[in-house]
Structure 1
């Protein structure tokens, strides 16, 4: 069963995270399928831009704790979005957690409905938002991100716009998205590609400098005793042992 649904409308390729039963968690299989779908869109001359969206009430719940992707695979997916020679636009009408926020930050433009919610939940299960920092740290407000990383608290779409995680939010995500897609359809493909390179240069410098270190950190944290305790508590719907 495919985990990524594809459709196209007037040169815009839509990729739908389509595993609502797992809240579109980043499993090894979903990460692989999404990377392949993005690569196909990047090589297709008839595609002007890509919209990344979701089925169900959650855009992405973060890593699939039962079938997590290898950190290198997640790095490759995030870099693939940043390096894709077509603009990638995230469309969110539900909730985003943990690793899903890394996907959101990798996109060139991100829009959401006002009802969407967000949280960096890694610290609450005993790990750190390591790999996703490759896209988040260069693109979001550092003071706001410090609080959100360290507390794991939930925040709304308005706060996500203020921090730079989202481009815009509104009552109707499609209404917010419409002028963005109209502008992309009116833009020359090569000009879009070169403009995107200008915008992503600093993000790619972060990948070149920090990817190996953050991948190692992610692997170490996920193998820790705290992570085992935190993930078990999460799956059993109880508090982890360190909560006071």
Structure 2
């Protein structure tokens, strides 16, 4: 039985967490299939955007604690693979959208933070529950802390309290918190905008966002701008703009 359902339409690859029996926990099986799906999407020229969705009422409950308990003596924890999953999402050359229709906890929140864009239902709940289990949110901090305001991070990490969609948006964890029935419209609008971007430019912009450059990088950034204005994509984009036509990379409607 697969843990991930994959589909493709109109330049959009959708990867659906489909393990509702254990609340879409990050088990070894689910993470392996998710890594395979992300890898396939990254190398598929027809894929322009990746949407990460889920079945069931829970987006992701975090690490599979039953596997974790069973593996405690061997040290071969499922969490060892979680870093690979977070990196695959964050470093994907294709923009990734997280669709959060229900609760997320611990590693599931790290997965949301790794995505480029995230929308949640206002009724969804979140928590960094690690301290209450005697562990710390170390690994997911690589994706979570760049998203959160420092004061919000301190409160949410240290208390382990549950918070709702509105607070997730206020803290910077998600882009938008909306009524459940409006989620698909938000995702569709984002996808429609993202496919207008040049694939190479989108991938490089993702790298730029992860770097958070400063004025000390100005010479390097100037060279990078020149490189892209001179590239095939840059020349095509400028030509399409001047001719008032769609660029060659825009999927036909």
Aligned residue for 1:141? 149
- Runs (5+) with no aligned partner, structure 2: 69-76, 213-253
Runs of 4+ residues deviating >2 angstroms: 68-72
Flag the structure with larger Rg: 2
Question: C-alpha distance in 2, partners of 1:153/1:140?
Answer: 15
* Greater relative CO, 1 or 2 (CA 8 Å, sep 6+): 1
Question: C-alpha distance in 1, partners of 2:107/2:79?
Answer: 11
- How big is each residue's C-alpha offset from its partner over 1:47-68, in whole Å with a ceiling of 9 and x where there is no partner? 0010001000000001101114
Aligned residue for 1:115? 123
- How big is each residue's C-alpha offset from its partner over 1:41-86, in whole Å with a ceiling of 9 and x where there is no partner? 0010000010001000000001101114544311111111111110
**Residue number among 175, 183, 186 corresponding to 1:176 in the alignment:** 186
Size of the aligned set, in residue pairs, is 203
- How big is each residue's C-alpha offset from its partner over 1:112-161, in whole Å with a ceiling of 9 and x where there is no partner? 11111111111111111111111111221111011111111111111001
TM-score, scaled relative to structure 1: 0.80
Aligned residue for 2:41? 41
Question: C-alpha distance in 2, partners of 1:173/1:94?
Answer: 12
Question: C-alpha distance in 2, partners of 1:166/1:138?
Answer: 12
TM-score, scaled relative to structure 2: 0.77
Is the aligned partner of 1:188 residue 2:198? yes
Task: For 1:1-244, list aligned pairs within 5 A.
Answer: 1-68=1-68, 69-171=77-179, 172-202=182-212
- 1:201 Cα deviation from its structure 2 partner: 2.4
When the two chains are superposed, the root-mean-square deviation of aligned CA atoms in Å is: 1.4
